[in-house]
A and B are shown apart, each in its own frame.
Chain A
């Protein structure tokens, strides 16, 4: 239920993101979701990929600062109010969030990537409230 997210340190300069995606493409790694946290002079690229360990290895070979972070992927129906309901659970159970991002697909529902301060507790609480969590092996089908 715990998914490894791959994070990469990027300087704000042209072409850097594309270099990462090319390296991943050459290694035949699929990107399911990503987001960039940006500041005035650097950014952090966070990605959900098909093969996190392999992605880390190839990026390190290419001199990037990379690390994996445990995140939780919650699947909710693609309709109004689902995210609010998810957040209600987290708030009530005192699961604090460092950051999150989401993507949705028309029929298959929406997926929210959550980076909680305490990953185990987040998983436990969401399961308690019957929230569907994605497993690593399901990621290929996203």
Chain B
């Protein structure tokens, strides 16, 4: 079923007309309400009236994650707080999180795009949807929740974790859809096996997986182990949350809800648009959001756009599974981790810059972050107790600032490879 056929199957011209009109209004609103973005436009001598159609989008300045941080917490909101009915915030970052605010209309729009996504995935109002994304500041849980209600399907708001109970409810309530991270899906399969439960006996038929990168081979594995169709959903809180784009049943790229979020693909070096179909950095502009509209937000995700018509009948442009990042951000168990955050934790602990290496492995189904720290002379003690204490302190400090557990290993000086005088900071051994 196509939820909003009129727009999801619109011609390119129709879509461009809708986008142009909405973009013009958004530019006006941002220019008049967000001083930091107005300053950026003034710097290049642009006025809101210079944006006459979606073609002019490429002239506008970018918005970066740092802009949200610099305007923490509510400086990028374009409406008074009395209009804001909910906030979400990014998890697992040092210092200030990125905060986003939603008006009542924003929440309706969000529910609409999630409902569209569920329909794309083949979910209907007869389904029972178990939402195992975390509920809270993270957008995953509540995003899927209201979209499911809006569709008219039944939602089980179980949130993340509590794996045995998840499986028990699948059995008892007959959940037909599971929404969670792909790595958690594999973990569920593992626990089912341990509990002696055959997924064939469950009613699961669709899985809606997102919030972290995963590959085609992981899709095959999940589909084989859980006996369901694994659908990729994409989103980020800066744009709205889950539902920015989602695959349809043909699993050939994620349809972008482009009447609300305009995607662009830019060359990572020149930041100019790439030729159609080429890979580059994904940039989004929201054109209907009220609380925190955002223009040309650099997602740092690398992908390409496909404009061909899809077999499902939708004309919404498709984005391929993300191929990586244009920065060094790692996504570990759904938490965004920048090596620089680890570095600042280590720097705070000592006068001198410590040398370290992050190794990410997928052990079984879960991501494990290992941190190798060189034992420099200034913190070498010949007492085991002191070194163990140092290890514990590093583990604790990283846990408390990034919200992620890390396995610290102390290594000898100069064991971490230096390339051209600069240390290599990350080795990602995950086969995803």
Contacts and interface: CB of A to CB of B under 8 A. Distances in A.
A65 B384 contact: no
Contacts of A10: 412
A46 to B, nearest CB: 6
A65 B413 CA distance: 7
A42 B410 CA distance: 7
A69 B375 CA distance: 17
Nearest to B377: A65
A7 B382 contact: yes
A11 B409 CA distance: 10
A71 to B, nearest CB: 10
Contacts of A16: 412
Given A39-B388, A65-B377, A9 B383 contact: no
A37 B384 contact: yes
A63 B414 contact: yes
Interface residues of A, number: 21
B387 interface: yes
Interface in A90-137: 98-99
A83 interface: no
A64 interface: yes
Contacts of A69: 382
A72 interface: no
A33 B243 CA distance: 67
Interface in B385-432: 387-388, 409-415
A63 B412 contact: yes
Given A65-B375, A66-B377, A67-B377, A44 B412 contact: no
A27 B101 CA distance: 68
B376 interface: yes
Contacts of B387: 9, 39, 42, 44
A121 to B, nearest CB: 18
B380 interface: yes
B409 A41 contact: yes
B382 A44 contact: yes
Given A9-B375, A39-B388, A64 B413 contact: yes
B377 A11 contact: no
Contacts of A64: 412-413
Interface string A1-26: 00001010111000010000000000
Nearest to B412: A11
A63 B416 CA distance: 12
A99 B380 contact: no
A46 B382 contact: yes
A65 B382 CA distance: 10
Interface in B274-312: none
Interface residues of B, number: 17
B393 to A, nearest CB: 16
A9 B382 CA distance: 8
B196 to A, nearest CB: 34
A37 to B, nearest CB: 5
Interface string A43-65: 01010000000000000100111
Which of B376, B388, B412 neighbours the largest number of chain A CB atoms within 10 Å of its CB? B412
Contacts of A9: 375, 380, 387, 410, 412
A64 B411 CA distance: 10
B378 to A, nearest CB: 9
Contacts of B377: 60, 65-67
Given A65-B375, A65-B376, A67-B377, A98 B383 contact: yes
Contacts of A67: 377, 380-382
A37 B380 CA distance: 14
Contacts of A46: 382
Contacts of A11: 410-412, 415
B412 A41 contact: no
Contact of B384 (A44, A63, A66): A44
Contact of A65 (B380, B383, B388, B409): B380
A11 B387 CA distance: 13
A65 B388 CA distance: 16
A44 B388 CA distance: 12
A46 B383 CA distance: 10
A37 B388 CA distance: 12
Contacts of B376: 65
Contacts of A42: 375, 387, 409-411
13 contacts: A5-B382, A9-B380, A39-B384, A39-B387, A64-B412, A65-B375, A65-B380, A65-B412, A66-B377, A67-B377, A67-B380, A67-B381, A67-B382
Interface of B: 375-377, 380-384, 387-388, 409-415
Given A42-B411, A64-B413, A65-B412, 12 more contacts: A9-B380, A9-B387, A11-B410, A41-B410, A42-B387, A44-B383, A44-B387, A63-B412, A63-B414, A66-B380, A67-B377, A67-B382
Interface of A: 5, 7, 9-11, 16, 37, 39, 41-42, 44, 46, 60, 63-67, 69, 98-99
Which 8 pairs across A and B sit closest by C-beta, in order of nearness?
A: A7-B382, A65-B380, A63-B414, A9-B375, A37-B384, A65-B375, A69-B382, A11-B412
